[in-house]
Homo-oligomer: A and B are copies of this chain.
Amino acid sequence: MTRIEHLTESGLLERITPGLAQGSDVELGPGDDAAVVRLASPRLVITTDTLTEGHDFLLSATRPEWIGRKAAVQNLADVAAMGARPQAVVVSVSAPRETPAELLEGISRGLAERCAREGVSVVGGDLGAADSLSITVTAVGALPEGQAPVRRDGARPDQVLALGSPLIGRSAAGLALVLAGEGEALAGDRGTDGDDGDDGVRSPDVTPAALVAWHDAPDPEISLGWTACPGRARAMLDVSDGLARDGGRIARASGVVLDLDRAVLAADADALAPAADLLTEPADPWQWVLGGGEEHALLATFEEGEIPAGFRRIGLVRAPSPGEEPGVVLDGTVLADLGFDHFG
């Protein structure tokens, strides 16, 4: 183990940057004052997000590679949620001087591998000293000329609400397992990626190990954002803070009500019920389904009949009734009233 205080900054970067493969769109990668990337169009899409130790992850309950993957996914999903293909990221890492170099190498490897899967290059970064570890990723992509960004305010009555994931709530379920003390034991096993069912559709793995892994490094199909959604999605975001809160953002921005389909989401709750049963403190899997964040699956509205493959219908868009506020409802009850959209 080599602590970073015993390496020069350039010495550490020399260990990390050779692992960062650069795409053919990268004119100038890491090592100068800034990187140069040829975007697919001049219409830049840009977003940034930070993961902080003790707040967004626990070093004791995750792996360095997963921190890197999570940092990648939460940013790439934001670009995808505009309907754009991400092309590059830059990363700023702040770390205590006694941090093992291997930890930063692992984070970097996870980041770069998850990015590479989407054809995204890690083109630059910064490394500085801090009292605790944090990772800020900025992701960029481009929108083709003539293609409008998919905003949050495009939901209209009679559209359908759809989710780009076969199961929601896994991240919250995994967190509950970690907090219950199951995390450390389980973090060593990633589990399988899922089983092929009788219908040939791969169903998500809901073993405890897989749920903890999903929490540590959620892995939704973000490429749907730029492959399936341009020209079809009317409103879109990725689920960062839970169906209720993120749905509420679409609802308020668009002035509509999102009416969730209990029968559909009950299947998600049922799938997570065995995990809830493992906990000594009783847990309601509906809380995970409706309130669980850090999924980063795409949530979008489409015209009836236009839902692309990879999305499943989970509700309807309707106009607010007289006196009703825009929001998310289930069986006629506003989810905010169930405690699902508070700041926390």
Q: Which residue of B lies closest to A81 (CB)?
A: B33
Chain A 56-98 interface 0/1 with B at a Cβ cutoff of 8 Å (1 = within): 1000000000000000000001110110100010111010000
CB distance from A5 to the nearest CB of B (A): 9
A165 — which chain B residues lie within 8 A by C-beta?
A: none
Does A123 lie at the interface of the complex (its beta carbon under 8 Å from any beta carbon of B)?
yes
A37 — which chain B residues lie within 8 A by C-beta?
A: 43-44, 46
Report Cα–Cα, A318/B217, bound state, in Å: 51
Q: Are B48 and A126 in contact (CB under 8 A)?
A: yes
Does A292 lie at the interface of the complex (its beta carbon under 8 Å from any beta carbon of B)?
no
Does A181 lie at the interface of the complex (its beta carbon under 8 Å from any beta carbon of B)?
no
Does A50 lie at the interface of the complex (its beta carbon under 8 Å from any beta carbon of B)?
yes
Report Cα–Cα, A33/B140, bound state, in Å: 12
Residues of A in contact (CB 8 Å), total 61
Of the candidates B9, B79, B125, the one whose C-beta lies within 8 Å of that of A48 is: B125
Q: Are B48 and A136 in contact (CB under 8 A)?
A: yes
Q: Are B132 and A132 in contact (CB under 8 A)?
A: yes
Q: Are B42 and A142 in contact (CB under 8 A)?
A: yes
Of the candidates B32, B39, B82, B128, the one whose C-beta lies within 8 Å of that of A44 is: B39
Give 4 nearest A-B pairs by CB, closest first: A34-B47, A138-B138, A136-B136, A33-B81
A92-B49, A140-B46 in contact; A149/B32 too (CB < 8 A)?
yes
